[in-house]
Chains A and B, each alone.
Chain A
């Protein structure tokens, strides 16, 4: 195990979340959010939640972040200009943004080179292996409810309804 990965990834996640808050540009804020997601996935991986780390990347970095960027592009014509108050004086340097996106990848590469994630300290945990039986066993009603919720959300997107002022 590489002991500095947890404090490093945690500090990087918090730092990029603070940068996300301070950005006036929504594109830069979305990129900071992506860096937070990557660092959070590294933390989950280190702590033994490998499947959850993968799902976090799939759902957020692969779907939600893309939707956010598309929404920013769609709303760009009515966004106020970037010349107002405290937020406009802050900008994200591109090397810092690049480092924020690449460092979690470096963390994961170092982890894999060192033999993978450390074993959790708990004795013989069920972990990811018990997820399927638990999800489709005692929690099947909650899983079905979440599936219906996602279906209804998709229907809300399909039906745009009335438009115009």
Chain B
């Protein structure tokens, strides 16, 4: 049963990575990024629950908090791109402006 959860976590992480690499829409890439975070939290939480380790719960909880902050910043960035008149896709973000 432990191997099943590890397999599910690894599969979720790889699918999130594939979404990051294959999709061009920023929101779809963002969903892939969140999927990778969920996969990591799932692996941490299940292993901590199996072994009864509080440190694992702490790590998973902190990862959740950081992911929530990252989600807010990422979505704000996507909305800024949209408000600047460009499509929220990677093709429209090929230049940096200082």
Contacts and interface: CB of A to CB of B under 8 A. Distances in A.
A109 interface: no
Contacts, number: 205
Interface in B48-98: 48-55, 57-58, 60-62, 64-73, 75-76, 78-80, 82-89
Interface string A115-129: 000001110111110
Contacts of B50: 47-48, 120-122
A133 B30 CA distance: 34
A135 B61 contact: yes
B79 A74 contact: yes
B84 A154 contact: no
Contacts of B35: 17, 20, 33, 36
B5 A43 contact: yes
Contacts of B67: 59, 64
A152 B61 CA distance: 18
A68 B4 CA distance: 29
B34 A64 contact: yes
Contact of B46 (A47, A72, A160): A47
Interface string A22-62: 00001001100100110010011001110111011001100
Interface string B29-56: 0111011001001100110111111110
Interface of B: 1, 4-5, 7-8, 11-12, 15-16, 18-19, 22-23, 25, 27-28, 30-32, 34-35, 38, 41-42, 45-46, 48-55, 57-58, 60-62, 64-73, 75-76, 78-80, 82-89
Interface of A: 6-7, 10-11, 13-14, 17-18, 20-21, 26, 29-30, 33, 36-37, 40, 43-44, 47-49, 51-53, 55-56, 59-60, 63-64, 67-68, 71-72, 74-75, 78-80, 120-122, 124-128, 130-131, 133-135, 139, 142-143, 146-147, 149-150, 152-154, 156-157, 160-161, 163-165
